[in-house]
Amino acid sequence: MTGHPRTVLVTGSAGLIGGILARRLGDRYVLRGFDRRPGPLLGPVGDLADPVALATACRGVDAIVHLAGESRVDAPWAAVLSNNIAGTAALFEAARLEGVDRVVFASSNHVVGQLEVEGAPGIYDGSGGRIIGADEPFHPDSLYGVSKAFGETLGRYYSNRHGLRVVCLRLGSVLRDDDPWLEAQRLGGDTTPNHRRFRATWLSHRDCAELVVAALEADVRFAVAYGVSANRRHFWDLGPAERLLGFRPLDAAPDNPT
């Protein structure tokens, strides 16, 4: 099978991005879910650590969007190890064994997060003068970032050695309220630093869903791309998503609270 999947498994389907994809992509694909808690998509409830449940989930699907995992940047090693490292390894192996054509891996900007840390605060308002490319060496800022670098590396291995199509999306900030200012307020405390970051790193729900579609449809064997809306103050390179996946964001964060 090349190019045009019909049946797509979404792991982590009960989470934030899983819910966004369930709402926005259900009319384009036959979506199936897999998560350790019940969610909006039909499919087995189970853990990535359960090979039987995982094989059942992967059987007969054309592509997998792999979202399941520990999503807290400050998560401790035990959670990162089991959910993101062992869990992602189990997912790629199940995809291979079940003959799945393509895996879209939810990577993260935190694989190069240390460059952002070192560029702050100027990087958030453009005075850092820096656009971070997808070919930068890994500079993780956390064990979470390390685990996403591992997932990308594993994806490259499965693509090179086993012929899977693999697209790694280094997602920016997908926000519950889908608005940088509202999200900063929701988090409480001093809203200014969070708002400054979110208006540079925001990936809107609409852009997130369309980026996943582009990753599912692109004629590529392996790709790494940042996922960020066309925010005026963005500092990750939008080029790879456009060149490799044909994706152009439609949304852009307002500069100021609306």
Ligand X SMILES: NC(=O)c1ccc[n+]([C@@H]2O[C@H](COP(=O)([O-])OP(=O)(O)OC[C@H]3O[C@@H](n4cnc5c(N)ncnc54)[C@H](O)[C@@H]3O)[C@@H](O)[C@H]2O)c1
Q: Which residues are catalytic?
A: 144
12 contacts ligand X (rule: CB under 6 A): yes
The 10 Å Cβ neighbour count of residue 24 is 16
Q: Are 7 and 32 in contact (CB under 8 A)?
A: yes
71 contacts ligand X (rule: CB under 6 A): yes
83 contacts ligand X (rule: CB under 6 A): yes
Q: Which x/- pattern over 174-213 shows residues binding ligand X (rule: CB under 6 A)?
A: x---------------------------------------
Q: Are 36 and 11 in contact (CB under 8 A)?
A: no
16 contacts ligand X (rule: CB under 6 A): yes
- At position 104, the amino acid (one-letter code) is V
97 contacts ligand X (rule: CB under 6 A): no
Distance, in Å, from the CA atom of 21 to the CA atom of 19, rounded to the nearest integer, reads 5
Distance, in Å, from the CA atom of 149 to the CA atom of 139, rounded to the nearest integer, reads 9
Residue number, 67 or 143, with CB nearest to ligand X: 67
The 10 Å Cβ neighbour count of residue 35 is 24
Contact with ligand X (CB under 6 A): which of 8, 9, 10, 17?
Answer: 17
Checking DSSP bridges between strand 63-66 and strand 7-11, what pairing results, if any? parallel
Residue number, 123 or 168, with CB nearest to ligand X: 168
Residue number, 88 or 159, with CB nearest to ligand X: 88
Residue sitting closest to ligand X (CB): 15
Residue number, 12 or 155, with CB nearest to ligand X: 12
48 contacts ligand X (rule: CB under 6 A): yes
In this structure, what DSSP letter does residue 74 have? T
Burial class (CB within 10 angstroms; exposed 0-12, middle 13-18, buried 19+) of 2:
exposed
134 contacts ligand X (rule: CB under 6 A): no
Distance, in Å, from the CA atom of 175 to the CA atom of 67, rounded to the nearest integer, reads 15
Residue number, 36 or 96, with CB nearest to ligand X: 36
Reading the block at residue 183, the tokens are 């999200």
Contact with ligand X (CB under 6 A): which of 8, 9, 10, 18?
Answer: 18
Reading the block at residue 32, the tokens are 């199936």
- Minimum separation from the CB atom of position 225 to ligand X (A): 13
Distance, in Å, from the CA atom of 71 to the CA atom of 242, rounded to the nearest integer, reads 26
Q: Please report, as ranges, the residues that interact with ligand X according to CB under 6 A.
A: 12, 14-18, 35-37, 47-48, 67-69, 71, 83, 87, 106, 108, 171, 173-174
